[in-house]
């Protein structure tokens, strides 16, 4: 597409411009940190090196002119500093000037690199920390692959933006201004006019085409994010893909996404060719114009051959930063787009936040109370409808009921993944909304239905329960969870890697690791969220022993699917459609011949049938 066909679609609108300035304002504090005085010193020193480099750079053509004048017999036209040096001396001075210009530039980069890397690290940490502060609702609606790509591109843009905002745009303007002044003073205002017109035309063309290219690049990023998300999603569900023989289907989905990326990448390459060709044409016209003017004046005896060469040297010298301007502007715009997406994440407000000066949770006995709790994800679909229950300290209360009755929601509310929409949840009389989330999470240990492990060693995953645990404490927790003997039977023992999400371990082994790290955490309140429902009957029975031992002396809330696992609970709560329909001990509920009794009879019959089939 030629420049004449560039539409306003590629231009920055007011929202994008405001977003870009917001990003710049967010990054600037990293250049002038009050917390780290050395950052200021390095920035100032880097700027001094920059000024030295530019002054020497714009002075170099004068040395070049003096050398040419000496060699061509026009030495009398040289300034006083060049007289007597001779052609060799001036040539050596020219080489030293070029060397010093480059040396100061490299020294500037070496000084500044620590500032840039510090900014990159702090922004990456800030983003990573913020993502963990966001609510469960946010994370279950976002795609992990796309999210990681946004953060990755945004963090990579930090160093580039810091470096080139400070060391490219301002210095480029300074250098071009100095060259224009030199042309006007040393030669003629017409030379300066040609240079200024060339620069203006070059900048206007570059900015206009670059705006068009940014819109293409944005579409390419979106296609890249979509393709990356499909790849990660497919690899995370490797087993499911295999179960359904869907390798070809997944490859086709991925390829379809890559087609979109390919099309945008081709457009990006074509637009770059358009930009480069246009820039070369404009610079060539300007170069030829001033060279023709200088040649005519040399023929007329007004300028020396050295002057002619100096004009050419300056034009070639400004060609390099002007060519760089296109790249810098394009990359700064792209960095602003990439970082804008990352800062959008930082602007995302956490749904669950601590109150100002919230105290830590003070757990005395571990009593958990639900007071007329209501909750909904969507106002049109209420999940809990006035739940009231009390879990006395040290007792075990089981929640049972059909799918969708609200059992797991109660667990999420207790851990404060969400806030109740009505009523209150209290621990030892303290409303969960009034205490810090960190202290609340420290007080509750969770064993979920499917324990997800980090792609690290068994030791690391058990020690995740308490980072400062000793080797003896880790082994004691593993023994309590009945997994120590299995671990030491492995060739690498506790240093055995468990694989992505723990896929190298069986379901029962993963659950035992999960139990071990919860034992190591040693919380006063325990939440078992269908901790054994995904296991076979024998493994479930084995793990139930570990769970019962772990629950001694703690307040335990068990969310159960198999009723046989909670028959000895101190109290059983039967939920249906977000309401408590029955509650009591196992024997009492069976005598009521209500919902619990019918659920028990059905499950007992299913288990007997399964045992008969197994025996057969």
> Of residues 156 and 574, which shows the higher confidence score?
574
pLDDT at 533: 64
Fold of 368-615: Rossmann fold (3.40.50)
* pLDDT on residue 2: 41
Closest-CA residue to 50 (of 1, 105, 87, 120): 105
Higher pLDDT, 118 or 148: 118
d(C-alpha 82, C-alpha 66), whole Å: 7
Q: How far apart are CA 102 and CA 96, in angstroms?
A: 10
Q: How far apart are CA 133 and CA 517, in angstroms?
A: 22
What is the distance in angstroms between the CA of the first residue and the CA of the last residue of the chain?
75
Average pLDDT over residues 453-474: 90
**Residues 35, 69: contact at Cβ < 8 Å?**
no
Rounded Cα distance, 384 and 386, in Å: 6
- The β-bridge relationship of strands 368-378 and 422-427 is antiparallel
Cα 173 to Cα 17, 180, 244, 368: the distances in Å are 21, 11, 61, 67
Per DSSP, 457 falls in state B
Q: Give me the long-range contacts of 6-12 (CB less than 8 A, separation at least 24).
A: 6/208, 6/209, 6/211, 6/212, 7/212, 9/215, 10/211, 10/212, 10/213, 10/214, 10/215, 10/216, 11/211, 12/211
Residue 24: CB partners within 8 Å, gap ≥ 6? 161, 165, 336
* 4: pLDDT strictly greater than 50: no
If one compares 285 and 222, the residue with the highest pLDDT of the two is 285
Q: In this structure, are residues 335 and 94 in contact, taking their beta carbons and an 8 Å threshold?
A: no
Integer Cα distance of 261 and 542 in angstroms: 51
Q: Taking Cα atoms as reference points, which of 399, 416, 394, 418 lies closest to residue 530?
A: 399
Q: How confident is the model at residue 141 (pLDDT cuts 50, 70, 90)?
A: low
- Output the six-digit token pair for 468: 């400062």
Q: Which fold has domain 3-347?
A: ABC transporter transmembrane region fold (1.20.1560)
Average pLDDT (241-260) is 85
Weakest-pLDDT range from 169-178, 205-214, 252-261, 387-396: 169-178
Residue 149: is its pLDDT beyond 50?
yes
Calpha distance 229→222 (Å, rounded): 11
pLDDT in tens, 509-529: 888 888 888 888 889 999 988
> What confidence category does residue 5 fall into, taking pLDDT thresholds of 50, 70 and 90?
very low
pLDDT at 3: 41
pLDDT of residue 8: 38
pLDDT over 70, % of the chain: 87
The structural domains of the chain, with segments of one domain joined by +, span: 3-347, 368-615
Indicate the pLDDT class of residue 254, thresholds 50, 70 and 90: confident
If one counts every other C-beta atom within 10 angstroms of the C-beta of residue 58, the result is 20
Q: What is the pLDDT of residues 167-214, one digit of tens each?
A: 677 777 778 888 888 888 888 888 888 888 988 898 888 888 877 877
pLDDT number for residue 135:
64
Residue 536 has pLDDT above 80, yes or no: no
Where residue 35 falls among pLDDT bands split at 50, 70, 90?
low
Average pLDDT score over residue span 592-602: 90
The gap from C-alpha 120 to its chain's centroid, in whole angstroms, comes to 12
Average pLDDT, the chain: 82
Query: For residue 458, what are the CA distances in angstroms to 106, 465, 486, 506, 542?
Result: 47, 12, 11, 13, 20
Mean pLDDT of 572-597: 91
- Taking the C-alpha atoms of residue 511 and residue 478, their distance in angstroms, rounded to an integer, is 11
Among 97, 579, 138, which residue's Cα sits nearest to residue 385?
Answer: 579
pLDDT band at residue 233 under the 50/70/90 scheme: confident
**139 pLDDT above the threshold of 70:** no
pLDDT band at 571 (very low <50, low <70, confident <90, very high): very high
Closest C-alpha to 195, from 288, 298, 308, 300:
288
| Alpha-helical runs (H) found in 73-85 | none
pLDDT of res. 572: 93
Place of tokens 């690391």: 460
Residue 396: predicted pLDDT:
92
pLDDT of 39 higher than 50 = yes
pLDDT interval class at 1 (50, 70, 90): very low
* Model pLDDT for residues 334-367, shown as the tens digit of each residue: 777 777 777 777 777 777 888 888 999 999 889 9
Sheet holding 422-427, edge to edge: 381-391, 368-378, 422-427, 430-431
Question: Count H helices, E strands: the chain?
Answer: 19, 10
pLDDT(159) > 70: no
Does position 238 have pLDDT exceeding 90, yes or no? no
Contact 408, 386 (CB under 8 A): no
Among the residue ranges 18-32, 258-272, 410-424, the one predicted with the least confidence is 18-32
Cα distances from 71 to residues 64, 97, 312, in angstroms, run 11, 19, 17
Enumerate long-range contacts of 200-206, CB under 8 Å, 24 or more apart: 201/282, 201/286, 202/279, 202/282, 202/283, 202/286, 202/322, 202/325, 203/322, 203/325, 205/3, 205/278, 205/279, 205/282, 206/275, 206/279, 206/325, 206/326, 206/329
């Amino acid at each position: 597409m030629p420049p004449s066909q560039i539409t306003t679609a590629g231009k920055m609108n007011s929202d994008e411009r405001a977003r870009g300035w917001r990003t710049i304002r967010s990054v600037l504090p990293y250049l002038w940190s009050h917390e780290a005085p050395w950052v200021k010193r390095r920035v100032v020193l880097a700027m001094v090196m920059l000024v030295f480099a530019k002054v020497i750079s714009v002075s170099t053509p004068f040395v070049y002119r003096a050398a040419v004048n000496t060699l061509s017999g026009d030495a009398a036209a040289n300034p006083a500093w060049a007289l007597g040096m001779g052609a060799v001396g001036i040539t050596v001075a020219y080489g030293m000037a070029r060397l010093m210009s480059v040396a100061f530039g490299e020294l500037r980069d070496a000084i500044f690199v620590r500032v840039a890397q510090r900014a990159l690290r702090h922004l990456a940490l800030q983003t990573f920390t913020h993502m963990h502060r966001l609510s469960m609702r946010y994370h279950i609606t976002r795609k992990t692959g796309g999210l990681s790509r946004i953060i990755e591109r945004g963090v990579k843009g930090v160093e580039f933006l810091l470096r080139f905002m400070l060391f490219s745009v301002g210095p480029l303007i300074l250098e071009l201004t100095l060259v224009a002044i030199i042309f006007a003073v040393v030669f003629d205002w017409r030379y300066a006019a040609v240079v200024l017109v060339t620069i203006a035309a070059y900048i206007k063309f570059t900015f206009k085409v670059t705006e068009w290219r940014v819109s293409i690049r944005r579409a390419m990023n979106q296609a890249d994010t979509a393709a990356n998300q499909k790849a990660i999603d497919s690899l995370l569900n490797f087993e499911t893909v295999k179960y359904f023989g869907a390798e070809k289907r997944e490859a086709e989905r991925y390829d379809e996404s890559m087609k979109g990326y390919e099309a945008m990448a081709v457009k990006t390459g074509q637009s770059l060719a358009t930009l480069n060709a246009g820039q070369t044409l404009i610079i060539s016209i300007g170069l030829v114009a001033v060279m023709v003017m200088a040649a005519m004046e040399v023929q007329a005896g007004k300028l020396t051959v050295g002057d002619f060469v100096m004009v050419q040297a300056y034009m070639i010298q400004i060609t390099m930063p002007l060519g760089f301007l296109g790249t810098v502007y394009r990359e700064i715009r792209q960095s602003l787009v990439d970082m804008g997406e990352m800062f959008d994440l930082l602007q995302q407000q956490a749904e669950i936040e601590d109150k100002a000066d919230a105290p830590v949770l003070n757990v005395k006995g571990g009593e958990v109370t639900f007071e007329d709790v209501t909750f909904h994800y969507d106002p049109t679909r209420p999940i809990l409808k006035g739940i009231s229950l009390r879990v006395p300290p040290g007792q075990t209360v089981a929640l049972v009921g059909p799918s969708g009755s609200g059992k797991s929601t109660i667990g999420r509310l207790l851990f404060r993944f969400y806030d109740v929409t009505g009523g209150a949840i209290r621990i030892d009389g303290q409303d969960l909304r009034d205490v810090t989330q960190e202290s609340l999470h420290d007080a509750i240990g969770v064993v979920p239905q499917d324990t997800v492990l980090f792609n690290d060693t068994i030791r690391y995953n058990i020690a995740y329960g308490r980072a400062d645990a000793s080797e003896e404490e880790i082994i004691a927790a593993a023994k309590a969870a009945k997994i120590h003997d299995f671990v030491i039977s492995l060739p690498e023992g506790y240093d055995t890697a468990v694989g992505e999400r723990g896929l190298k371990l069986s379901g029962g082994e993963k659950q035992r690791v999960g139990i071990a790290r919860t034992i190591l955490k040693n919380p006063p309140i325990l939440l078992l969220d269908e901790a054994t429902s995904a296991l076979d009957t024998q493994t479930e029975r084995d793990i139930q022993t570990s769970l019962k031992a772990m629950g001694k002396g703690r307040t335990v809330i068990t969310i159960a699917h198999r009723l046989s696992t909670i028959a000895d609970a101190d109290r059983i709560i039967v939920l249906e459609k977000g309401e408590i329909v029955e509650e009591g001990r196992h024997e009492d509920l069976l005598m009521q011949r209500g919902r619990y009794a019918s659920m028990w009879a059905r499950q007992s019959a299913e288990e007997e049938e399964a045992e008969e089939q197994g025996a057969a």
